[in-house]
Amino acid sequence: MAALPYIFVLLGAILWGTTGTAQTFLPTSAHPFTIAAGRSAVGGFTLLLVLVLLKKINLKSWTWKETIYAGICISLFQLLFFSSVRLTGVAIASVVAIGSAPVFSGMIEWQLFKLRPTRVWMISTSFAIMGCFFLFLNKGEITMDPRGILSSLIAGLVFALYTMSSKSLLQKEESLPAVAMTFSVSAVLLLPFFFLYGVSWLKDVGNIGVVFYLGIATTTVAYVLYAKGLHQIPSSSALTLSLAEPTTAAILGVFIVGEVLSVTSWIGILFLLGGIIVLTLGASRKKKHVIVRGAK
C-alpha cells in the first residue's frame, strides 16, 4: 500500500499530540525537564530491555555514530522546546517549532543533498503553515519574547536534523532497535535534570502512570511508527505530516481539557488536515503513476 508509510507517520504524530493533555494530569511541581527525562528513560530503556531479552539487538556491531547524533538531537529538541514554552507559552512555541521543522528539512535536503522540494510538498507545507498560523491566532494576549522565538526556531531545526539522522540510522538498523537506542542515549543525556530539579512528585502512583504513558505511548509506540514510515518517505514529507500533532492537541484541548477554540482555530485545523491530505494523496498518485509507467 503506497500510503501506508504516510499513515504510520501520521499515527505517530497523533500520539505525540496527546502529550500535552497527558501532562495536564501531572502536578505543577513536575518540572518539564524532568518529565522529558522520565519520558525518554521509560520509552528508551523499556524497549531496549525487551529487545535485549529477546536477542533482537546486537550492541557489539551497533551503528553508534548515527545513534549518538540522533540522541543528541532529540535531547536538544526537548530542552529547546521546553525553554521556549517557558518564555513564550505553549501556543507560539508549538507553532514555531513544529511549523518550522518541515521547512528546515526541505531547505537542508535541497542545499545539502540537491533534493529539490516537490510541488506537492510545497503546497502541503504551505497549507500546514497556514493552519499553524490560524491556531496561533486563537490565543489571547501574546508575548513575543525574541529569546523564546529563537529557541523555538532552533528546536524546529534540531528536530529536522533528528529526522534526517534517524533516517540515516534506519538505513542500517531496524526501526525498533533504532528507537530504543536513540532514546536510551537521550535518557542518559537528560539524566542530570533528575538531580537538578528533583522527582518527589513521582511518589504518587498516578503520576508514575502518566510518565509511563508518555514513555510507552508517546515515545516508544509513536517514534516506532514514525521511524517505520520515515524509512520509506522523504524527511520533509514526514515532518509535514507531523503537523498532525498540533491538530490533535487542539482537539483534545477542547474535548478533554475543556479549552474553547475560536472559529479561526477550527479554520487552522482544517488547513492542517488539508495539508496532510494533499501530501498523502499526492504521494499515492505519484506512486501509482510510477507503477503504470513501469508497466508500459
For the segment 190-244, what is each residue's pLDDT rounded down to a tens digit? 999 998 998 999 999 999 999 999 999 999 999 899 888 988 887 777 877 887 8
Q: How far apart are CA 157 and CA 175, in angstroms?
A: 23
Rg for the chain, CA atoms, rounded: 19
Of the given ranges (63-67, 91-95, 101-105, 128-132), which has the lowest mean pLDDT?
91-95
Cell digits of residue 261: 477554540
Of the pLDDT bands very low, low, confident and very high (cuts 50, 70, 90), residue 78 is confident
pLDDT score at 259? 64
Question: Between the CA of residue 157 and those of 37, 74, 108, 126, 189, what are the distances in Å?
Answer: 21, 11, 10, 18, 19
3-class DSSP state for residue 162? helix
3-class DSSP state for residue 184? helix
In degrees, rounded to 5, the angle at the alpha carbon of residue 193 between the alpha carbons of residues 188 and 196 is 140
Q: Is the pLDDT of residue 28 over 90?
A: no
Q: How far apart are CA 117 and CA 82, in angstroms?
A: 30
Cell digits of residue 162: 533528528
Of the pLDDT bands very low, low, confident and very high (cuts 50, 70, 90), residue 246 is confident
Q: How far apart are CA 17 and CA 218, in angstroms?
A: 8
Q: What is the pTM of this model?
A: 0.78
Q: How far apart are CA 109 and CA 126, in angstroms?
A: 17
Burial class (CB in 10 A: 0-12, 13-18, 19+), 21: middle
